Amino acid sequence: MSALRIAVAGASGRMGHMLIEAVRASSDLQLCGALDIPSSPAIGQDASAFLGAASGVSITSDLHAGLAHAQVLIDFTRPEGTLAHLAACRELGVKAVIGTTGLNDEQKAQIAEFAKHNAIVLAPNMSVGVNVVLKLLDVAARALKEGYDIEIIEAHHRHKVDAPSGTALKMGEVVAAAVGRDLKDCAVYAREGVTGERDPSSIGFATVRGGDIVGDHTVLFAGTGERVEIRHQATSRANFAQGSLRAARFLADRATGLFGMDAVLGLAS
């Protein structure tokens, strides 16, 4: 079986480097494209130069050139860039794994429209462990929906530009759905001053930004006389990269459709 041909967006960034290293280390995937913004100083360089090795793939800002030979694009960039990449993917028949966060409802709807033409995996967190945690949260929330206050605490590195994290929001959505609420109606994102007693139907969020924290997420169910905490701690971006490769393999024999990591991992109901 021939190797699945992969292109990586944001190729000179931290996540891009991790993805390129993971693709090159795999036996069934081949790096065939590397994309970055025109102002990147890495444009024109070999995509794996940071590894001290040559891949024969140059980093380019030309979407058509970067995607010309790809079967799947893996994209962890910014919402506007991701949508531009997906437009090129649709034109060229390239599938996509999207780990971009900070997408609004309109942008998510656009991605769903692209998925009618090319198969896409969209997830705010590609970690296998995080997606198992989402399943555990559904179970816990159904059992603890009465008499327990729900708070979500997340921490990330100083460079992260969106808050709360996409993963924290997804956790909130899963918990809210499990207890019969809409997160838009019950989420509390900030507390300051005299706030009054806590609304028992609310789901609170707390955000920490600092240092080089890869990603910590804790969902707290606080009851009377006990509390339950479900936590995921990422110590390396390698887990995001490996999950992304699993998602790319999942797309290999799918032509269209929008999928989550629950489908990739066989956790979907």
Active site residues: 156, 160
Cα 156 to Cα 170: distance, rounded to the nearest angstrom: 16
Distance CA 35, CA 266 (A): 30
Cβ contacts of 121 within 8 Å, gap of 6 or more: 96, 97, 98, 247, 248, 250, 251, 259, 260, 261, 263, 264
CA–chain centroid gap for 16, Å, is 13
Burial group, residue 45, by CB count within 10 angstroms (0-12, 13-18, 19+): middle
CA distance 264 to 159: 29
Q: Yes or no: say if 152 and 164 are a contact pair by the CB < 8 Å rule.
A: yes
Residue type, 137: L
Q: What kind and span of H or E run contains 261?
A: helix 261-264
Which residues, in sequence order, are bridge partners of residue 120?
A: 96, 258
Q: Which helix (H) or strand (E) holds 160?
A: none
Which of 10, 217, 26, 11 lies closest to 129, judged by CA? 217
